[in-house]
């Protein structure tokens, strides 16, 4: 059980966890980004402050990790994506692999269009390695 009664403290730990994964794990994409547990989900915009988003996005940029735009969860929200983009983040698209929405990327593509993402801002896996 995770302690969430102090929402700000939880979010600080949660951001630390995101940054630690980006910095220590051999990953190309950080998936399910910005998801919040149900008790906190209604406060998404207040809890994912610009400073918190920038910490995660800047770590991703430093390590060359793309941030997933999830069609499965419809996350991150547009404001989060705009802040991450301003920090130079690259993005990938995902559906979270759950039936019946497996492979459906409508939300991801809609966000990419709404943001006006350029080809250079979209993660493309290397051909080899």
Query: What pLDDT, on a 0 to 100 scale, did the predictor assign at position 109?
Result: 96
- What's the whole-model pTM score? 0.92
How far apart are the C-alpha atoms of 118 and 129, rounded to whole Å? 25
Question: Any alpha helices (H) in 1-129, and if so which ranges?
Answer: 7-24, 38-41, 44-47, 50-63, 78-86, 106-115
Is 69 exposed, middle or buried, given 0-12, 13-18 or 19+ CB atoms closer than 10 A? buried
| Region of residue 116 (phi > 0: left; psi between -120 and 50: alpha; otherwise: beta) | left
User: What pLDDT digit, counting tens, does each position of 43-75 carry?
Assistant: 999 999 999 999 999 999 999 999 999 998 999
**90: nearest Cα among 28, 25, 24, 15:** 28
């Amino acid at each position: 059980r995770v302690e969430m009664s102090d929402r700000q403290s939880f979010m600080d730990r949660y951001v630390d966890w995101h940054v630690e994964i980006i910095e220590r794990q051999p990953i190309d994409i950080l998936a399910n980004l910005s998801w919040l547990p149900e008790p906190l989900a209604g406060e998404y915009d207040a809890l994912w402050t610009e400073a918190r988003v920038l910490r995660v996005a800047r770590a991703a940029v430093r390590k060359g990790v793309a941030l997933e735009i999830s069609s499965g969860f419809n996350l991150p929200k547009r404001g989060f994506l705009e802040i991450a983009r301003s920090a130079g983040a690259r993005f990938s698209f995902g559906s979270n692999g759950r039936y019946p929405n497996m492979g459906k990327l409508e939300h991801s593509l809609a966000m990419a269009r709404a943001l006006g993402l350029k080809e250079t801002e979209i993660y493309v896996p290397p051909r080899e390695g």
